[in-house]
Chains A and B, each alone.
Chain A
Amino acid sequence: MRARRAAFIALEGLRKTFSRENEHVEAVASVDLEIEREEIVALIGPSGCGKSTLLHVIAGLYEPTAGRVFYGGAEVTSVNTAVGYMTQKETLLPWRTVQDNIALPLEITGVSKKERFQRAQHFIDQMGLSGFERRYPSELSGGMRKRAALARMLLYSPETLLLDEPFGALDAQLKIAMHELLLGLYEKHRQTIVLVTHDLMEAVTLADRVIVLTNRPARVTFMQHIPLPRPRDVHNIRFTNKFKELYDVVWERLRSQYLEERL
């Protein structure tokens, strides 16, 4: 038991290269990262920089090319069922109605139909999806599908949430409402949350720590603690001086990444 493995989630010298025939794409180049239990960490960086790859590795869906991943002290070698993962891509089952989709994790663990629909209804209401219970995903807007996917993940309350641009498709007002909802749930359940985003405002509002990644292949280039007190008022926090100060510090570093990308 070495000390550095005391972290709840630890990536050690993680590299990931995708190979297809003679083509090699290096997505992640040597990332060391430790995430504490109950911490909210935001990974931010240019799009296509390998942020999603990191989440896939933590979820045990990708095998690292080199390096190791630890979760709760044990090395991740297969699918990590302790995490709930909301991928960037749609993963609602198109042949199931909204309520059947949201209740799926409970169906898998054998919860009775009546109970799982009851519990699903709570999140359906919270996500503003009431009235759409019996609709199919193809009948919903992009934002509604995102909320349904979020509801599905929150319903079975996994101890860690991996969120890949969960609020990207939402309009500004709805986004704030979702931030409020997420932080409200966090105050209650204290999950560990790893959030991938390219919205710096979102990152500073939600996270305890913002980690800036470089262009592909991804490396950690900068890390900023966000010592804003909790519980946070997601709307008003943005207008405090402390928020602006932190935002500017990270923005300065992030901007150089975006500039590099454009060049």
Chain B
Amino acid sequence: MNAVTNSVPNSARKRTRPRSLGDVSGMAMLAFQVAFGLLFLFVWHLASGTVISDFYVSHPLTVGRRLAEWILDGTLIRHAWATTYATVLGFLIGSVIGCVLGFWLGLSEFTSRLLNPFLLFFYALPKPALAPLFILWFGFGAGSKVALASLLVFFLVFYNTYTGVREVDRDLVDTARLMKASRWQIVFKVIIPATTSWVFAGLQISVPFALIGAIVGEMLASNQGLGYLIHLAGAEFDTAAVFAGLIAIAFLGIVLNKLIDISKAGVQPWKAISK
């Protein structure tokens, strides 16, 4: 009896007011987020020069001014373009080579066993450690940072593709063999389609790594790009410029991730539908 009478006011209350803060509507959350951001900027503003020296944290207005300057004089777009170019080119080169080699080794037992120890060697190596070598080989320009981005992408895409090929359901392959499918028909009609979700997963996770490769490459040896910009700013003790550069890099990263989300929706209708 008690439980029944209690439940009425409970449900009525639920309708008028969210039970916990986690339930607030999207609009309300947006307002909270804006408020939190403004509060953060305000605390930064107050702390800068009082609690912490502005040598370390600069000042929000200085950073904003620096960003505005860069946008207006074209600095930002020029360097962002250089970084984007290296990221995209590195992504394309790395993913094409990774895909091809992943399929090849996945399909060829001999080659995969032959190359296994060598791949393990390169896999264990932190890729940015190869930067000095790339600078020697490709010089002080786009070449070395594209190479670094490609290498990071290559390993991720290669490994995913290879695993995908090895994981193809044996029974699907047998089914095709019983239908008199040739080796190439099995590759094109069964193995490649069955591997696409692995390949796409590899491509997706490798985009941020392409950006990492490009930025690290630019910081080490370049005279262009957002990585170069923050490296230079750091060398000149220009904290505001470092922060401005970081904001620009984060923004570029967000744009790239959004592009992946958009491309994701277009592929694999058979999976999208089943969800």
Chain B residue at minimal CB-CB distance from A86? B175
The distance from the CB of A224 to the nearest CB of chain B, in whole angstroms, is 30
Q: Which of B5-13, B66-74, B176-184 contacts A (4 or more CB under 8 A)?
A: B176-184
Is the pair B171, A87 in contact by a Cβ cutoff of 8 Å? yes
Q: Which of B51-59, B137-145, B190-198, B216-224 contacts A (4 or more CB under 8 A)?
A: B190-198
Could you say which residues of chain A place their CB within 8 Å of the CB of B270?
94-96, 136, 138
CA distance A91 to B170 in the complex (A): 10
Q: Is there a chain A Cβ closer than 8 Å to B189's Cβ?
A: yes
Q: Tell me whether chain A's interface is mostly helix, strand or loop, or mixed.
A: loop
| Other-chain residue from A83, A84, A108 in contact with B189 (beta carbon distance below 8 A) | A108
Chain B residue at minimal CB-CB distance from A135? B273
Chain A residue at minimal CB-CB distance from B181? A108
Is the pair B179, A105 in contact by a Cβ cutoff of 8 Å? yes
Mask, B158-193, CB within 8 Å of A = 1, is 000000000001011011111111000100011001
Q: Is there a chain A Cβ closer than 8 Å to B274's Cβ?
A: yes
Could you say which residues of chain B place their CB within 8 Å of the CB of A44?
none
Q: Is there a chain A Cβ closer than 8 Å to B268's Cβ?
A: yes
Q: Number of A interface residues, CB 8 Å?
A: 24
Number of contact residues on B: which range applies? 20 to 34
Is the pair B189, A104 in contact by a Cβ cutoff of 8 Å? yes
Is the pair A83, B274 in contact by a Cβ cutoff of 8 Å? no
Is the pair A93, B171 in contact by a Cβ cutoff of 8 Å? no
Could you say which residues of chain B place their CB within 8 Å of the CB of A85?
174-175, 178
Chain A residue at minimal CB-CB distance from B193? A95
Is the pair B171, A89 in contact by a Cβ cutoff of 8 Å? yes
Could you say which residues of chain A place their CB within 8 Å of the CB of B268?
95
Could you say which residues of chain A place their CB within 8 Å of the CB of B269?
136
Q: Is there a chain B Cβ closer than 8 Å to A80's Cβ?
A: yes
Q: Is there a chain B Cβ closer than 8 Å to A33's Cβ?
A: no
Which one of B178, B194, B268 has the greatest number of beta carbons of chain A within 10 Å?
B178
Is the pair A108, B274 in contact by a Cβ cutoff of 8 Å? no
Could you say which residues of chain B place their CB within 8 Å of the CB of A89?
171
The distance from the CB of B267 to the nearest CB of chain A, in whole angstroms, is 11
The distance from the CB of B185 to the nearest CB of chain A, in whole angstroms, is 6
Give me the interface of B with A, judged by CB distance under 8 Å: 169, 171-172, 174-181, 185, 189-190, 193-194, 196, 268-271, 273-274
**12 A–B contacts, CB within 8 A, in A order:** A80-B178, A89-B171, A91-B175, A93-B172, A94-B270, A95-B193, A95-B194, A95-B270, A104-B189, A109-B179, A136-B269, A138-B274
